Structure 1
C-alpha cells in the first residue's frame, strides 16, 4: 500500500491511458464512485451513473472517454472497472510481507513448507504435506495428510483442506470452507443406507477463489476438479466427482450434484441447481434459481425449472402471470357455452 501520493500521469502510464486534465494531480487512495473524496481516484463504468459522477469530490476518475461535466481530472481507458481493479491491486493494497512459521502451529511428520511463508498460530498440518512459497495460513486452518498447496495461496481462518487434496498456485479460500469432505454416497440395503467409501480427492487448479462456507466434496473414486481461474461464491455445494471447467463462475447457494461436468466459462447464478450426471457445455449461463435436470449444449442461456431456453422461459413466465385472468375467461366461456346448449335444447 502506498504511503505517499502518486502523480496521475504515473497511474495513466501504468494503465496505458490518456490523461484529461492536470497530469500532476496527486492521488493517495482509491474508492467507489459514491464515496471517493479529495485525493482519491474512482471510476465510471456506465454512463447511467453520470449524474453521480458529476457530483463527485474525487480528484480523478477513470472513464471510457472524456466527460466535460465531470469536475475532476480523468484517465480514459477502454475498461474503467478492469483498470481500477488493476490500479488498486498495484498501488493501494498491502504488499505481501512474510511473518514466518509460528511455534504454536501443529506440524506433522515429513511436512515441507516453502520459502517466505506466513503460518499463523493454531494451524494444523498433517503428515506428508507439501506447501509452496509465500503461502499464508491463518489461525484454525487444517491441512490433511498428503495434501499439496501451491505457491502464493491464501487460506483464511478455519478453512479445512482434507487429505490428499491438490491445490494449485494463487488459490484463495475464505473462512469456513471445506475442501475434500466425503461425497454423499450411500447404497440402500433392506431399508438401511450403507456408506460408500469416498476414496478419491479434490484438485483445485491455479487462480481459483472460493468464498466462505462452501463445500467441495472429494470424489468417490478419482477426482473432483475445479478448473483454472474459476471463482466460487459463498455457500456453494459441489458434490463428488464434479468437474468444473476453466474460468467459470458459481454464484451463492448454487448446488451441483455428483458426477456432473461444467464446461469452460460457464456461469451458475444464485441458487441454481444441477442434477447428477449432467453435462453443461462451454459458455453456458444458467440463470438464478434454475433447475438443470438434463444436458445443456454450449453457448446457451437457460432459465426455469426444468431448465429451458431463456427466451422461452420469459414467454412462459408472462403467460403464467396471466393464468388467473385466462382461467376466469375460460370459466366465463364455459358458462356461456352451457347457456347456449340449454337454449338449443328448449
Structure 2
C-alpha cells in the first residue's frame, strides 16, 4: 500500500511540474517615459537638425564654388571668344535684320528676340556642358540627402542615451512632421518615414519635394533668363540694333549700285574686321566683367534663397522638424536626465511633481 501511495505522489509531482513549465511567462511591466525626458529627447532632435543643417550648408557652398569655377572657365573658353568674334557679330546683325523685317517698327520686340537667342546660346555653350559634371539641381538633391543622412545618424544615439524603448521612440518620431506638401496628404512625411527610407529618394514625399523645388522659377539650374543674364542680353541686343540702324555698308551699297555696292561692302567688312580685332581685348574684358557680375548675382541667389536655392530642400525639412518641436524645446528641461520608471501591475503611474518656480515659468 505504501508503494502505491508513493507512486501516486510521484505522479502528482510530475503533473504539477509539467503544468508549471507550460505556463507562459508574465509580460514585462510597461515602461513609462517621463514628460521631462521626452522634452530632453526633443531638444536633442532639434539640436541634431541644426547641426545637420550647418554641415549641409558648408557642403552646398563647396559644391557651388566648384560649379562657379567650371562656369567661369567654360565662359572664358567658349562663350566669350564666340561672342566677341567679328563674324559672330555679323551673324547677330543679320538676325537683327531678319527680326526687324518680321517685327516692323516694334523695336522692343527685336531686342527681346535677340536677347532670348543670346540666353539660349549661353545655356547651350556654358551651362548645359557644365551641368554634365555639376549643376544647382544636383547640388540641391545631394545637399538634402546629406542633411537626412546626418540627421539619421544623430537620431540613432538619442533613444539609448535616455533609455527610451525603441518602439516608443519610433512612435514619437512618427508624430514629428518632416515634409508637408499637402494637398494631397499623401505628399506629407513624418520624421520617422523620412529617416527610415532607404534609399532616401524612394520616399514619395521626398521625391515630390525635390521635383517641386526644381520647378520653382523654372528650376534652380534654369536661371539664364533671370534678371542678371537677361539684362546683359538686352543691353547687347540694343547695341546690335543700334549698329544695324546705322548700317554704313548698307547705305553705301544702295547709293552706288548692287555690284559695286557688294565690293564696297566686302571692303568695309574687311576693314571693320581688322578694327574689331584690335578692339577685341577691350570688348572681351568688358563682356567678362558684365557676364561675371550677372552670374555672381544669380549664384548668390541660388546659395542664399531659402525658397528656391540649393538649400531649399534642407530648409523645408529642417523648418518642419524644428517648427514641430519648438513648443516642447522651449519648455524648461531638468538638468539631470529623468530615467524611465517601471510601473508594476496594479500600480498607477506617479505624476511628476512640479516646483513652484516651474509653475510660475509656465504661467509667465
Regarding TM over 0.5, the answer is: no
Query: TM-score per shorter chain, which class?
Result: under 0.3
What is the TM-score when the length of structure 1 is the normalising length?
Answer: 0.19
Structure 1 or 2, whichever has the larger Rg, is 2
Relative contact order, higher structure (CA 8 A, sep 6+): 2
**Under a length normalisation based on structure 2, what TM-score does the superposition of the two structures give?**
0.18
Structure with the higher strand share, 1 or 2: 1
Q: Which has the higher helix share?
A: 2
